[in-house]
Chains A and B, each alone.
Chain A
């Protein structure tokens, strides 16, 4: 496309926005409302994902070895575990190491456990990590069947429930976002359709004198994109400001090691960029959709 033509399309697109100022306000409003809601959902969903990821990557299987097991038995069990193909890695932790870790974990309360150093009641343990958190249950039950295994623990209930919750949250979130976006596209397309009727003559004449459809479509493309971009300004400001506020006020209070919000930078910026792209996309789509029916030859 020639530079002059491009300038013309841009000029026409902006002119139409200004000329139909009330319609522009309506369309921009639709984008803004949608994006604010989408932003809220995305913030929630992406943080939930992050939390779930943390838990998933922390999750492992603890295989408690029979107290009666000999060293050879322990080695054999280790070999068997190593042969399972969904196991990413595993290591052996002796009962002494286990006690040490427990004492450390419990801090001051742990001092009481130091008494047991002479007569350690804990088991030797294999700690097994799988590639996917979803594999934990399967691998755990296989290992349970091996000999010399006293017990297997992978925090089954908590992990299962969290994974499930996260799965549902994801589906619901995606459905909601899709519905919101479709509504916005519909609103924009209707708004622009109203302004198009006024431009019908112009489109008719353009076609009559031999303008290509792509040429006719371009100003609408520009108009839709600008609508979307302008509509994303307020949501982006809210994300940048609001998430900062949330992060500062919430993160310190959530003092669990595995629940940690995504850091403001770069998350807020990434989300803003995403909103900008979504805004432009629904603007363009809505606009191009509404012009389509005037272009049939």
Chain B
């Protein structure tokens, strides 16, 4: 469960990204975060994996305040959260398999378990047959599926995606969404910032709309609510 109470974020350069945000996201929810560019979506999301800490207010993840969290504890928090980006962030010199296994290697999982988990998850995103390819040999949609595989290989409780379909064509985007729905169906919380009106309006879920660093709308099975 993620709770935010009166969260403010002012960056060093004086920009106020979050201006008193209050919300609760329960386990297993599927949440879209929408709003114009610069509304604070990314900052909102970054709070959830402690890439940023609030300037004021409290962010609690499973009842632990990330503001009080020691630096040493952060890696353990991150292990329970999978993060996906618009630009995939894959390591170009590693194969598909290695990119996914990387997430388990750095947390010192045992090698036999790594092999099994990685092949399972590649199967789930439909890329088992391309395990030996390097990212440059894949299409954008395939690369994003590798990134998703990397994010979920550790069975995280929460998956956070920052505009995951931003670089993809519509058909590919639907494929990605199908994977997110499957992940969500197993009880994993999915939080996704997006600019895609089609996706939000078609796959109806909770919508949190942000403007000027504040939540201006929060509805279940909501609409995108902006013109593209």
| Residues of A in contact with B (beta carbons under 8 Å apart) | 2, 4-5, 8, 201-202, 204-213, 215-216, 297
Contacts and interface: CB of A to CB of B under 8 A. Distances in A.
A205 B150 CA distance: 10
B174 interface: no
B45 interface: no
Contact of B79 (A2, A210, A213, A216): A210
B107 A211 contact: yes
Interface string B73-87: 011111100010000
Given A297-B71, A297-B74, A210 B91 contact: no
A209 B79 contact: yes
18 contacts: A2-B108, A4-B111, A202-B91, A206-B102, A207-B78, A208-B83, A209-B78, A209-B102, A209-B103, A209-B106, A209-B154, A210-B75, A210-B77, A210-B103, A210-B106, A210-B154, A212-B75, A215-B108
B197 interface: no
A202 to B, nearest CB: 6
Nearest to B74: A297
B89 A201 contact: yes
Contacts of A2: 108
A215 B89 contact: no
A5 B154 CA distance: 18
B70 to A, nearest CB: 9
A10 to B, nearest CB: 14
Contact of A204 (B72, B77, B89, B107): B89
B107 A209 contact: yes
Interface in B109-142: 110-111
Contacts of B108: 2, 4-5, 215
A208 B106 CA distance: 10
Contact of B150 (A201, A202, A209): A209
A207 B75 CA distance: 7
A163 to B, nearest CB: 52
Size bracket of the B interface: 20 to 34
Contacts of A202: 91
Given A204-B89, A207-B75, A209-B79, 15 more contacts: A4-B108, A4-B110, A5-B108, A8-B105, A202-B91, A206-B106, A209-B78, A209-B106, A209-B150, A210-B75, A210-B103, A210-B107, A211-B106, A215-B106, A297-B71
B66 to A, nearest CB: 11
A213 B102 CA distance: 15
A137 to B, nearest CB: 58
Contacts of A205: 89, 91, 102
Contacts of B154: 209-210
Nearest to A212: B75
Nearest to A4: B111
Interface string B52-94: 0000000000000000000110111111000100000101000
Residue picked from A206, A210, A211, A213, most chain B C-beta under 10 Å:
A210
A212 B91 CA distance: 19
Contacts of A216: 106
B91 A201 contact: yes
A7 to B, nearest CB: 10
Contacts of A208: 49, 78, 83, 89
Residue picked from A207, A211, A215, A216, most chain B C-beta under 10 Å:
A211
B191 to A, nearest CB: 15
Nearest to A2: B108
Contacts of A4: 108, 110-111
Interface string B36-54: 0000000000000110000
A218 to B, nearest CB: 11
Q: What are the 8 tightest A-B residue pairs by CB atom distance, in nearest-first order? A: A211-B106, A210-B79, A210-B78, A209-B103, A297-B71, A210-B75, A212-B75, A206-B106
